[in-house]
């Protein structure tokens, strides 16, 4: 089973959207949510599809937390890609998962890999 993130009725742009495998736990939870949904959409507002996808829902959830700053989905992506780097997930797998060019991941996030430059640092041992 796959999650296809491109939004219906939106033109395809250069901004990439992932198609990812769904976890068994998420699939089970989505099935329960669908069974309890008030309409054909699992994510809805008063029984109707949320018109702007998950952006609106994410924004509302962040408002309800009462944070003094406004998180964005990019903050979540930044955290995930940092964790991937720390766990040494291969760059092409991380790039595919995050719909980001491998060159961008190397340029921005390789510093989070704990072994990055480690062998060079070892050469400076006296």
For the stretch 16-37, pLDDT in tens is 677 788 899 999 998 998 898 8
* Residue 114, domain extent: 72-126
pLDDT band for position 14 (cuts 50, 70, 90):
low
8 and 59 together in one domain: yes
Residues 51 and 83 in one domain: no
Q: What are phi and psi of 78, to 5 degrees?
A: -60, -45
| 51 pLDDT more than 70 | no
Looking at the fold, whether 81 and 47 belong to one and the same domain comes out as no
Axis crossing angle, helix 54-65 with helix 73-86, rounded to the nearest 10 = 90
Print burial letters for 101-126: b (CB count within 10 Å at least 16), e (below 16): eeeebeeebeeebeeeeeeeeeeeee
Note whether 58 and 6 are same-domain residues: yes
Identify whether residues 37 and 78 lie together within a single domain: no
User: Both 93 and 48 in a single domain?
Assistant: no
Please give the average per-residue pLDDT across 45-59, as a whole number.
74
Same domain, yes or no: 58 and 5: yes
Q: Is the pLDDT of residue 91 over 80?
A: yes
pLDDT at 53 exceeding the cut of 90: no
State yes or no: pLDDT of 64 exceeds 70. yes
The domain boundary, picked from 44, 69, 94, lies at 69
**pLDDT tens per residue, range 116-126:** 777 788 888 87
**Structural domains counted in the chain:** 2
More confident site: 11 or 74: 74
Pair (86, 52) in one structural domain: no
């Amino acid at each position: 089973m796959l999650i296809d993130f491109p939004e219906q009725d939106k033109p395809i742009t250069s901004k990439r959207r992932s198609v990812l495998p769904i976890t068994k736990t998420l699939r089970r939870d989505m099935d329960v949510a669908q069974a309890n949904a008030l309409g054909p959409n699992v994510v809805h507002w008063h029984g109707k599809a949320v018109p702007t996808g998950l952006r609106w829902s994410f924004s509302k959830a962040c408002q309800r937390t009462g944070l003094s700053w406004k998180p964005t989905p990019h903050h979540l992506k930044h955290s995930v890609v940092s964790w991937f780097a720390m766990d040494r997930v291969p760059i092409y797998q991380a790039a595919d998962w995050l719909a980001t060019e491998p060159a961008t991941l190397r340029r921005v996030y390789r510093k989070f890999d704990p072994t990055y430059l480690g062998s060079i640092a070892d050469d400076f041992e006296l």
